Structure 1
């Protein structure tokens, strides 16, 4: 790969999430950039993640302030070409302005891989950035300051699919009605003789307990079905390559294509999804993608019998992590008063 970012200094703030932050950094390094990666959150302790996810952020202000004061001090005097903020939950407009000042007014980009309905505070960063991207087409349609850009696959690129021992697999974080939908799909799969492999990740026991108290849907979750340790991205890739189809259940409050959707495209396995938005994309093929009703999921036996329809390589490459980075970093300063 060409060192197309050679000589560019890029500072990235991204939450630690299934190794995606590290894959982003590694790809930027591979593309020639000088990269400094920071966690967007001040801590990944269970109680801190629970507070963030339950949106009681005022409790976090002293910790956030202390964390970013230290980070900004460490960056002071460093000249950066780009500042990339991914899925911000803790960065405030004031923090972002201080980061820009410390880094010599770099080109600043924000990317949301969650809906603004789920992260409403991130809207305050829109006027502070040179570009604000979202994976959610509904969000971009609601505000012309938001640019739509689908997510990416950060998988290794191997095309090995020698065995397909599982018919339907699911790997994801426990939220909303995901558990209920998975169990309904599993029941239907068993009725028609299909095998399943489901992995439910809960960020912490504290988070799960609080959701169990306040959300009746979580009281139906079998505690033994949960893992409080995330599955490494390399293991998810391995499991997906050993699956005939991957189940995707997007959050009810968003229409953006999930990471799992793009990863299924990358590994060449079929996709079962609750998100009808997928039918609007160039890679959609009825033989490869089955759209189900999350409230009354049905499985089509013929879908599993039909062979996977290979896609043009340029269609798949469109969603590579390298192309994603090219898109979000190919911007110029646009705000008044910022030197270029």
Structure 2
């Protein structure tokens, strides 16, 4: 029996995303060593360190002392966990800048291949640039970032195919949108919402925030709100039970969100504000409406027209099954690229 490929893995835990990816990779047959929770589980090693932090912050105005302590403690904890495992060849870190830089300085030599993937705009988190030298390959999802460093490679996001088959969905109607509260998203979300309401399309529009003012504003605009994070698997249940997905991009980036790849993977129609989607091979105006304040009748015609299935190889290309093989260069895979920017 062939030994399973071991992958050290780390990613943001927000919305249960790291758990969902780990579960998907495990179903695919990989042995996943997940460091995500360890990275987010910081405790002061002793009371004296806590007191020292208070002293540095209060009397020395040293507000970076805690981050230095955290980096040292978390790095030690991560290395301790790694030492429990033998014969690890591959490592994948999504948003590696959320991990201590010292950790990567210490462990790069432990792997035959260590890969980083930044699924956010580098202009939003520029510190990630310091991490690039410690990876064999470093991928970004935003074509605009390809101009920032010659040592990075373009690669899209992906969708999960294996865990979806184990989820239960009810119905297949209406439009679904879920977003953390972000000021630049509220206006286009409201415009889309009001247009779809005018043609009686069932809506499930959710805004997440823990800020009372933001919750109040969203409620006044007619959005359903939540102060509790929905897990990614719960999010997928919403996606699967909808026929139309809504994607509103952050204005500072042009990379394609996970919502777009969910529409590909699960055969869902999509309304998106991201005009750059037209530069990708899977763009089909019959399936994807690029929002430009279309009339209610134009939206209704789009909604009612049947979904046009994508070629099998296109769907396979953007599934995590292929994505992980591409970034780690494992076996046969479809190469994934980003469109060139002007």
Does the Cα contact within 8 Å between 2:164 and 2:236 map onto a contact in 1? no
| Cα offset, 1:18, TM superposition | 2.9
What secondary structure sits across from 1:252 in the alignment?
A: coil
Q: In structure 1, what is the Cα distance between the partners aligned to 2:75 and 2:129?
A: 20
In the TM superposition, what is the alpha-carbon distance from 1:176 to its structure 2 partner?
3.8
Aligned residue pairs total: 303
Contact 1:93 1:125 in 2 (8 A): yes
- Aligned equivalent of 1:241: 240
Residue 251 of structure 2 aligns with which residue? 252
Match of 1:151 in 2: 157
Task: State whether structure 2 residue 274 is matched by structure 1 residue 275.
Answer: yes
Q: Please name the residue that 2:56 is paired with.
A: none
Query: How many angstroms apart in 1 are the aligned matches of 2:13 and 2:108?
Result: 22
Q: What is the SS of the residue equivalent to 1:243?
A: coil
- Verify the 8 A CA contact 2:159 2:261 in the aligned structure 1: yes
C-alpha distance in 2 between matches for 1:124 and 1:164: 45
1:121 aligns with 2:127: yes
| Match among 96, 110, 117 for residue 111 of structure 1 | 117
Contact 1:154 1:320 in 2 (8 A): yes
Distance 2:85 2:240 in 1: 42
Q: TM-score, normalised by structure 2?
A: 0.78
How much has 1:261 moved relative to structure 2?
0.6
**1:24 CA drift (Å):** 2.4
Whole-Å separation in 2 of the counterparts to 1:57 and 1:291: 44
Tell whether the 8 Å contact from 2:4 to 2:29 is kept in structure 1 after alignment: yes
**8 Å contact from structure 1 (residues 270, 289) kept in 2:** yes
Is 2:30 the counterpart of 1:33? yes
1:100 equivalent to 2:108? Answer: yes
The question of 1:43 aligning with 2:43 is answered no
Q: Are 1:292 and 1:298, in contact at CA under 8 Å, matched by a contact in 2?
A: no
Aligned to 1:335: none
Structure 1 residues 298 and 247: CA distance shift in structure 2, 3 A: farther
User: Within the alignment, does 1:182 sit opposite 2:189 as a pair?
Assistant: yes
Aligned to 2:219: 222
The Cα of 1:279 is off from its aligned counterpart by: 0.7
Distance 2:168 2:111 in 1: 45
Counterpart-to-counterpart distance in 2, 1:305 and 1:57 = 55
2:8 matched to which residue of 1? 11
Whether the aligned pair in 2 keeps the contact of 1:19 and 1:233 (CA below 8 Å) is yes
Distance 1:32 1:161 in 2: 25
Contact 2:143 2:154 in 1 (8 A): yes
Deviations 1:14-39 (A, max 9, x none): 11133331232233333433321011
Per the alignment, residue 286 of structure 1 pairs with 285
- In structure 2, do the counterparts of structure 1 residues 44 and 283 end up closer, same or farther at CA, with 3 Å as the change threshold? farther
Distance 2:251 2:135 in 1: 28
Structure 1 stretches lacking a partner, 5+ long: 46-55, 332-340
Summarize the Cα distance change of 1:7–1:197 in structure 2 as closer, same or farther, 3 Å threshold. closer
Q: Is the 8 A contact 1:151 1:262 kept in 2?
A: yes
* TM-score with structure 1 setting the length: 0.79
Deviations 1:34-79 (A, max 9, x none): 321011774379xxxxxxxxxx987534223322222213323744
Give CA-to-partner distance per residue, 1:138-187, whole Å, 9 cap, x none: 11244332111111111434499883332x21023222422332222111
What is the rounded CA distance, in whole Å, between the counterparts of 2:132 and 2:19 in structure 1?
A: 25
Write 1 or 2 for the structure with the bigger share of helix: 2
Q: 1:298 to 1:112 in 2, by over 3 A?
A: farther
Distance (Å, rounded) in 2 between the aligned partners of 1:57 and 1:115 = 24
Determine whether 1:138 maps to 2:124. no
C-alpha distance in 1 between matches for 2:26 and 2:188: 39
Moved more, 270-279 or 36-45: 36-45
Name the structure 2 match of 1:315. Answer: 314
Alpha-carbon distance between aligned partners in 1 of 2:64 and 2:21, rounded to the nearest angstrom: 27
Q: Distance in 2 between matches of 1:236 and 1:284?
A: 23
